[in-house]
Structure 1
Amino acid sequence: FVSEFFSLYNDPALDNALDIALQMALSVPLEDVTAYPKFSKAFFGLIEILFRNHKKTVFALDTNVFMQLMTAVHEGLQSSDATLSSLCANTIDHLATYHFLMNGKDKVEMHNLNKHLTAQPNLFSSLTATLFNLLLFGPPQNHWAVMRPILSLMLASETSFSAYKDHLLTTQNPENQVKLNEALNKLLADVNRSLDSANRDRFTQKLTAFRVTTRGFLTL
């Protein structure tokens, strides 16, 4: 609402403030961000808010700057701090949800986002692989955090999920491949191409069962 208010009166104050905040945040090396817990929570909290409420500003960034943000999010997603990984997972969910809901629509934000994805075609596949690896092989404190964006990413980029699934199958012996295929079929059964709350909740339950089942036999 606030951003719409400023836009209504062609007031650039909010955009200017966001731009300054981003410049300040990105001027700090990522290793320094992650070294200080309080600062890292503020840093990733800012990014999450930007992707949630200020997509027009974020997607209008230069691709190099946008990818600097996504690199930070990718790093934070793998943090042992559940708060940080949750903030980063939510950021990814905002991105993937927007892409799924708005893909093909003639909106400036979508054109800008597609420009970034064209320049970095592996972005969604990289995020998909990291999320599933954290779910299947990562520490337990991250499981709930990483589940939320998996459905939106799968819907936003079905090819990324297919590529990860095929790769994971190749890492397993024939017996485990059969088990994994069965588990994947159960995971994907009756999942709608929708991001409404009911479908998200149903898929989260399926993901939980999928994780429990596959961790019993998957090998690294």
Structure 2
Amino acid sequence: MSRPLLGLILLNEKYFGELRSNLISNQGLEQQQTLNACFEKLMEGVEQNLLIKNRDRFTQNMSVFKRDVTEILRISTAANTPVGTVYMMS
């Protein structure tokens, strides 16, 4: 899934930037900084091409991004769960 995603990001960087800004701005202040850092790491070392080495790098970054964002959202959701409410993750 990440390989076609890289092509789309490179094809329409403006939209990716807008999507990124929108997702970050919809989070709390503390999560905004962390999420911004995740997006920075996502594109770290990724060049403006679709060479195999570059796609592999993006795929590795995407795995870390997914793990980190899932953790951020899990913590954010858990912090907003009222005391006494059963919280179940699927």
Which category of TM-score, normalised to the shorter sequence, fits these structures?
A: 0.7 to 0.9
Counterpart of 2:33 (choices 169, 175, 178) is: 178
The partner residue of 1:204 within 45, 59, 62 is: 59
Equivalence map 1:149-164=2 (5 Å)? 149-164=4-19
Percent identical pairs in the alignment equals 35
Aligned partner of 2:81 in structure 1 is: none
Task: Give me the TM-score of the superposition, normalised by structure 1.
Answer: 0.33
Q: TM-score w.r.t. structure 2 length?
A: 0.77
How far has the Cα of 1:177 moved from its partner? 0.3
Residue 92 of structure 1 corresponds to none
Alpha-carbon shift at residue 148 of structure 1 (Å) = 2.1
Q: Which among 43, 49, 53 is matched to residue 194 of structure 1?
A: 49
What amino acid maps onto 2:72 in structure 1? F
- For residues 185 and 156 of structure 1, what CA distance do their matches in structure 2 show? 18
Tell me what 2:82 maps to: none
Instruction: Indicate the residue corresponding to 2:84 in structure 1.
Output: none
Name the count of aligned residue pairs: 75
Q: Give the match for residue 20 of structure 2.
A: 165
Larger RCO, structures 1/2 (Cα 8 Å, 6+ apart): 2
4+ residue segments displaced more than 4 Å: none
Deviations for 1:34-72, whole angstroms, at most 9, x for unmatched residues?
xxxxxxxxxxxxxxxxxxxxxxxxxxxxxxxxxxxxxxx
Bigger Rg, which one: 1
Gaps spanning 5+ residues in structure 1: where?
1-145
Gaps of 5+ in 2: 78-90
